[in-house]
Structure 1
């Protein structure tokens, strides 16, 4: 097999972070550029040829449209380049699931695209960054990774973008998948897939938008009133996602306010995992709501933004998109 040619696009995050001490808890993300990351990767003896580019040097809490637009453009170019076999995006962990899902919705399921990060900065004792990067190289260079959509590699596991989420604030094994868990296990020297590619030959689900409309997430809580709905609308929200109680519920006044908001409303859940099913606790047909199904609030927001950007506003059609995998 020929040596895989990997394009690495760096955005910052903990994988590029520095604490200035092996035991210091605090650190600054995005301190290590792609050239230094590539230099470190080349010392590992990986069977791959690297080229890289810095897209950003930020913590992923600050990532947004400018970085997403640049990433998408670079990945599309890499996919069209016969000299590139796979793409790796180094990324902070806080919003990796959102970036991965947005790219997954708007890229064809062709060459492997892998997001990777770290839970500990590069100079911390027990740093996981280089192992995760070596694992990502193993995945991005594997021909069997094609046709699976955008992937996320963390803690010796491979997750599909639609399933992955950050489920813990700390610890190297902070990532989980729902409704599927990991779809593969990986180490720097091995890769085991748990099934065949399920999206081979599929084009992009949606065209890349010119911009993403504003969508707000409302976190439900006991005693919540309807003020948050009005505030979000007053700030220009074109759609609303309810991070609801349990099965996506909220106090009666909130549900009523959402029903007359005049914008598309998606019911998700603040619970860590589980499906929000249609018409189970809330009469979605009556209110014109969309049930998020297996998507949490963050991904529900991304999908709703993409749907609105594509001109879709009909709740029934939106529900079909939330039902898809």
Structure 2
């Protein structure tokens, strides 16, 4: 590893959680402070200076725009610090894919930014937190890590934020990458990249906005009625993401209601509730002005649509172009 320090931004989550028993199933996330956490790492001798800052100590289900803004501003400052080699953000796993993707789209790629979490609290049998963290430090301090966008490290795998999603409720091997799978393999003593960096020297793709437009996700189900769309629009949604059946499908009444929403100026993105697979454009998208989510699942599609609308990109054809870039 090279000289310089790694900035640690702690937000809580299971990696900072305590159960009070090595075999207890339930636990409280966000119980260990960053100073205590870093003290526990001293014996690992990770070969790089770690400087920690506590941004929050909560479960990631409670993370939102205000904390995202603070993380974004701190990451920009760290990138301007010549002594900072990279950034590691400790984070709960429930919304890690959303935080990672938002930062991925709103930060330059000049220094590595790595999110890391755990599926077992710190005092559980077989806790995965310390190993995941050591792996994240290995990634953040690697000279070839920059230019890959924001990354997420779990279970010895490195995922790009554009691909990462949580796919299991409790296994330590809880994350998958689609469509590209992991981009590297990391251990506390080794790191292998599966390909070259693809965003070297790239500026932020979009400006960060604290007050992003409200975008609702509608989860499709059999017998779903059109009033779900009306409720979203009446509730102030400026955009809608459909978590549809299969290839982004939905009952006819829903599709017709969504087409009316588009006529009223509310962009609609068709994603899928299915775990894997692309949602490509289909003929009805041209007549209804729907947007196909491509490889993005509903959670990340929502983040991207918010960013596009916040940055003044509202034309469905232009939004489709941006979704095609992922």
User: Normalized against structure 1, the TM-score is what?
Assistant: 0.98
Give the conservation status (yes or no) of the 8 Å contact 2:66–2:210. Answer: no
Paired with 2:96 and 2:2, the residues of 1 have a C-alpha distance of 30
What is the match of residue 165 of structure 2? 165
Query: Which residue of the partner structure matches residue 76 of structure 2?
Result: 76
CA contact (8 A) 2:244 2:272 kept: yes
SS at match of 1:130: helix
- Equivalence map 1:26-105=2 (5 Å): 26-105=26-105
Q: 2:304 is matched with which residue?
A: 303
Q: Which residue is 1:288 aligned to?
A: 289
Shift of 1:230: 0.9
Question: Which runs of structure 2 are paired with 1:1-325 in the superposition (5 Å)?
Answer: 2-261=2-261, 262=264, 263-279=266-282, 283-325=284-326
Q: How far is the alpha carbon of 1:210 from its aligned partner?
A: 3.8
Contact 1:4 1:47 in 2 (8 A): no
Per-residue Cα deviation, 1:274-298 (whole angstroms, up to 9, x for no partner): 100001xx61010011000000000
| Structure 1 range deviating more: 72-81 or 36-45 | 36-45
C-alpha distance in 1, partners of 2:218/2:321? 23
- 1:209: how far off? 1.5
For 1:210 and 1:271, locate their aligned partners in 2 and report how far apart those are by CA, in whole Å: 30
Q: What is the TM-score with the length of structure 2 in the denominator?
A: 0.98
Give the number of aligned pairs.
323
**Structure 2 residue runs without a partner (length 5+):** none
How far 1:235 moved relative to its partner? 1.2
